[in-house]
Amino acid sequence: MAQEAMSDISLEGVHPTYIYKVVLLGSMLVGKSSLAYRYVKNDFKELLPTVGCSFFTQTLNLEGGTVRFEIWDTAGQEKYHSICHLYYRGAQAVLLVYDITNKETLNRAKLWLRDLEKEFLPHEIVIALVGNKTDLAAEREVATEEGEELARTKDLLFMETSAKSNHGVNDIFVAIAQELLQREREKPSALSPRGKSTVDLGESRTKTGCC
């Protein structure tokens, strides 16, 4: 289950800072590390597969408050699958990443989603389905509509991205932050210094990035 989201409230109580654990899940070589690196460093590197887990932080200021993301980038190799639940336990948000040029990575993402559904209560965390590598659109195996449909049926955020060209990367993290802050506003304990991060998605907020 999701842990409590940390928040620091100013004396006036008008601009809280929330700390959220965000986990990237997906198959090996879908570009999880590159997405995190692009978002945090605004740079692109061909990174080696992650061993275990990597950790990044990033802060952004929005109208509803300041959000500090603690980003956990998990290994995509099959041999690490059985321990990845240790990393996403207590998360408030997950980026479920697949490669639009590799249909099998979407099938694997569906398996990750099943794992998340076992670990968390319905609508307990924000889950974003992310189709990466739009810079390789000529090699596409997964149609945008297929990702949209999965996101719609499972009530997920959705966006296609390219860590290489920086398409949609910032947008998906901002969308996650806005969703989390919206849920903070909807909670009775919104002004509590340690408001729980359990949330209600309500209506579908599927978001689509262009190719």
Domain for residue 57, yes or no?
yes
Instruction: For residues 139 and 152, give the distance between their C-alpha atoms in angstroms, rounded to a whole number.
Output: 24
Q: Does a structural domain hold residue 117?
A: yes
User: Is the Cβ–Cβ distance between 184 and 18 less than 8 Å?
Assistant: yes
pLDDT (0 to 100) of residue 8? 53
pTM: 0.80
Q: Is 50's pLDDT higher than 70?
A: no
96 is a domain residue: yes
- How many domains is the chain built from? 1
Provide the token pair at 23: 């986990």
In a domain, 70, yes or no: yes
Count Cα neighbours of 105 within 13 Å in the Cβ-side half-sphere: 26
Q: Which whole number is the average pLDDT over 92-120?
A: 95
Domain enclosing residue 16, as ranges: 6-186
Q: Looking at residue 119, which CATH number applies to its domain?
A: 3.40.50.300
Q: Is residue 36 part of a domain?
A: yes
Whether the per-residue pLDDT at 116 is higher than 80: the answer is yes
If one compares 122 and 38, the residue with the highest pLDDT of the two is 38
